[in-house]
Structure 1
Amino acid sequence: MASSNRARVGHSDVRELRGPLLVLGDTEGVGWDEFATVDVEGSAQRHGLVLEVDGDETTLQVLEGTEGMALGGVEVRFSGRPLAVPVGTGWLGRVCNGRGEPLDGGPPVTAETSSPVSGWPLNPVYREPPQDPVITGISVVDALTTLVRGQKLPIFSIPGLPHLTLATQIAAQATVSSGRAFRVVFAAMGMTHADIAYIRDRLEERSAAGELVLLLNAADDPVIERILTPRIALTIAESLAYDDGSDVLVVMSDMTSYAEAVREVSAARREIPARRGYPGYLYSDLATLYERCGRVRGREGSVTVVPVLTMPAGDITHPVPDLTGYITEGQVVLDGDIDARGIYPPVDVLSSLSRLMRSGAGRGRTREDHLDVAAQILSAMARARSAAELAELVGAAALSETDKAYIEFRTVVERELLNQGRDELRTLEQTLGLAWQALSLLPRRELTMLSGEFLDRYLP
């Protein structure tokens, strides 16, 4: 009753407008993260979240921004609860903006239950280890950096590389063999309208099948919306996974745009900046998103997260990829030199890693030879890189026959195994077949990571 009374009480003592922030005085009993409606004279109603409470002064972040607002003519009503969104299967097949408002011409999403977008902290005791593969149909991922159900595996890229193409291909093609329903939630942040059109077109088939939720935040949408988009996406995913028993893949692109939004709000709050102007709490902020994935004891479903982020100037020590690497379980790194050779996806396999691959690949999960084949290919690729560097120093003619075989091996791996069409779906059998074809170029004595049984059975 107290919260409903407060919802009818309007507060109009606006003391400051600062970027996307509104500072309101003469407020009592307001809680952190509380949701509010903002009535602006002569304008549409806006919405806000409580960011800070200091005595009788409350700072709100206005979701639609404060443009066109003045200190007078504004009335704020607090709801007495955090921002929540309806949850359930009603989101499937829908296309919405970053705040969850429809862009597809349909009615607003409704449901009998709602959940706070900030999520609920999960007791680690109830976490189950990630296991079983998510097959993406992309050879380099499935063979060498296998994505595991319940894992968080980011894609590190550079502006200008086809990371969005790779992310949408994963979202369009990914499947699991668990027998449960498989759903995809795609959260786009800071996208151009051309990119948004591409995402909608590429994922139309999965959306029409009722397996996809699209949340699209454009670059010209309010900054605060960008902070909400991944939280709404994960709230929807948690409901589909833990309440409805589905396996859910959440693709979030671009997390660098998200971090820029966090930095902008931090600057508006006049907080002391840390590395490169980002707030000191960026690590914990990213962790509150990434750690919302996984499997829960006693629940059937799972949430798997693939964040995509661009590294400014290709700097992997930049705060966003650096902190992401501490939280997540590996990374898929895209490389400009490989892209220049016309290879898609341009993954640098020697910089990429899936730390949970052994939990999702091998006997009983993918194929008995999978882990040994992956180890042998990565070892051979490292040897081939050394041989190529030696050839640059002394000339290819001075190399041994074995080194020449390794250089040819790398060429075939990049051209046949790693390179594939942007809408090409490969089965795991096809992928491992291509891997064995490439390994057949090396002398058998070099294949020290593969058992004689596997060599006799699979080597062409």
Structure 2
Amino acid sequence: AHGGYSIFCGVGERTREGNDLYHEMMETGVIQLEGDSKCALVFGQMNEPPGARARVALTGLTIAEYFRDDEGQDVLLFIDNIFRFTQAGSEVSALLGRIPSAVGYQPTLSTDMGGMQERITTTKNGSITSVQAVYVPADDLTDPAPATTFAHLDATTVLSRSIAELGIYPAVDPLDSKSRILDPRIVGDEHYKVATEVQQILQNYKSLQDIIAILGMDELSEEDKLVVERARKIQRFLSQPFAVAQVFTGYEGRLVKLQDTIRSFKEILNGKHDALPETAFYMQGDISDVQKRAEELAKEMGGQ
């Protein structure tokens, strides 16, 4: 569907990962040595000097700007990992004898990051859309490196270790993840209302977890018990069976329309499916799949 070009910048990551990506793209036909390839790979691995690692993201961005400005293309720019760009800048700054600022980062952190991120933009000729992997040191979202990066991004998808420990994949934290287009003027009133209500019930559940851990569910009010039950169902319903992950999970991938997703969450919030067991919500598509799974579980229980 994407008719433009794609640029992949491997910044400060393992050589093996870049090699695997290159050969995978060769096998799938994304890169065609004898034909018209629409992908360029730029690497500065972790064994390279800090100067090379600091420049590779800018090199990839310059290539993207060429395709946008000179060839009028819509360009996808992937950067893995943008934190290594900051890390390399910190090492270069130390070599130059600059006095470090907060947490040991370079005093020019905001300038360096802004100088790169603000070049990723749309013009009359074309556009650059960037997807960036962001390593978060010690899972601290307030660390200066990721915090400076987040300030420039339109959307952030935060992966959580605690959600991964529950076996929920993708392990996206809906409370820390954000998007600027989650606005009723853009997504519509219903979508916005359902999304914010989902976040609200998950936040309420999170605030009740300490009480549950100390006193147990029995000490909660009936209203709070209902919040916990619905939140746990929503949490499991947020798991997604991906086609690309089928070999790992054993669950067949499902493509669900946006309106079906909104309707499904709305029905859970309204209590329409309070009678269904929460295990039926795990790794399902829309709410009709959940209902089928609940029927299967009921038959299995009845047959025992």
TM, length-normalised to structure 1: 0.51
Counterpart of 2:139 in structure 1: which amino acid? G
**Contact 2:198 / 2:269 at 8 angstroms: preserved in 1?**
no
Shift of 1:356: 3.6
Q: Which structure would you say has the larger Rg?
A: 1
Provide the identity percentage.
25
CA offsets 1:382-408 (integer angstroms, 9 cap, x no match): 223234344234321233444334333
Instruction: Write the letter of the residue equivalent to 2:10.
Output: A
**For 1:287 and 1:418, how far apart are their aligned partners in 2?**
34
Task: Give the C-alpha shift of residue 248 in structure 1.
Answer: 1.9
Alignment match, 1:55: none
Letter in 1 for 2:133: V
Deviations 1:399-441 (A, max 9, x none): 3444334333333333333434372676561x55245334423
- Quickly say closer, same or farther: Cα 1:403–1:183, change in 2 above 3 A: farther
Q: Residues 374, 255 of structure 1: CA spacing in aligned structure 2 closer, same or farther, 3 A cutoff?
A: same
Q: State how far apart, in whole Å, the 2-side matches of 1:359 and 1:236 are.
A: 36
Return 5+ residue gaps in structure 2 as ranges.
246-252, 273-285, 289-304
1:256-281 CA distance string (max 9 Å, x none): 22222112211221122222332211
Aligned to 1:290: 117
Q: 1:444 to 1:342 in 2, by over 3 A?
A: closer
Is 1:381–2:186 an aligned residue pair? no
Q: Which protein has greater RCO, CA pairs closer than 8 Å, 6+ apart?
A: 1
Q: 1:280 aligns with which of 89, 99, 107?
A: 107
Q: 1:374 to 1:245 in 2, by over 3 A?
A: farther
Q: Is the 8 A contact 1:413 1:435 kept in 2?
A: no
Match of 1:186 in 2: 8
Q: Which residue, 224, 233, 245 being the options, matches 1:412? A: 233
RMSD: 3.1
Gap regions ≥5 residues in structure 1 = 1-174, 446-457
1:290–1:305 contact (8 Å) kept in structure 2: no
User: Structure 1 215/314 Cα, relative in aligned 2: closer, same or farther at 3 Å?
Assistant: same
Paired position in structure 2 for 1:221:
48
Q: In the aligned structure 2, how far is the partner of 1:359 from the partner of 1:289?
A: 31
- Cα pair 2:184 2:192 within 8 Å, conserved: no
What is the CA-CA distance between 1:444 and the residue it aligns to? 5.4
Query: What residue identity is the alignment partner of 2:159?
Result: L
Equivalences, count: 263
Please point out which of 233, 237, 245 is paired with 2:60.
233
Letter of the structure 2 residue corresponding to residue 386 of structure 1:
S
Q: 1:423 to 1:406 in 2, by over 3 A?
A: farther
Contact 1:206 1:212 (C-alpha < 8 Å) held by counterparts? no
Letter in 1 for 2:244: D
The residue that corresponds to 1:256 in the other structure is 83
| Deviation by residue 1:112-146 (Cα, 9 ceiling, x = unmatched) | xxxxxxxxxxxxxxxxxxxxxxxxxxxxxxxxxxx
What's the offset of the Cα at 1:201? 4.9
Residues 11 and 53, structure 2, Cα contact 8 Å, conserved in 1 = yes
1:245 aligned to which of 72, 77, 85? 72
Q: Residues of 2 paired with 1:252 and 1:433: CA distance?
A: 32
State the AA in 2 paired with 1:328. L
Residues 1:397 and 2:218 aligned together = yes
Structure 1's 411 and 419: CA in aligned 2 closer, same or farther, altered over 3 A? farther
CA gap of 1:266–1:459, structure 2 versus 1, over 3 A, is closer
Deviation at 1:206, TM superposition (A): 6.5
Q: Go from structure 1 to structure 2 and tell me whether the alpha carbon gap of 1:435 and 1:406 turns closer, same or farther (over 3 Å shift).
A: farther
Does the 8 Å CA contact 1:344/1:421 hold for their aligned counterparts?
Answer: no
When the two structures are superposed, what TM-score results if normalisation uses the length of structure 2? Answer: 0.74
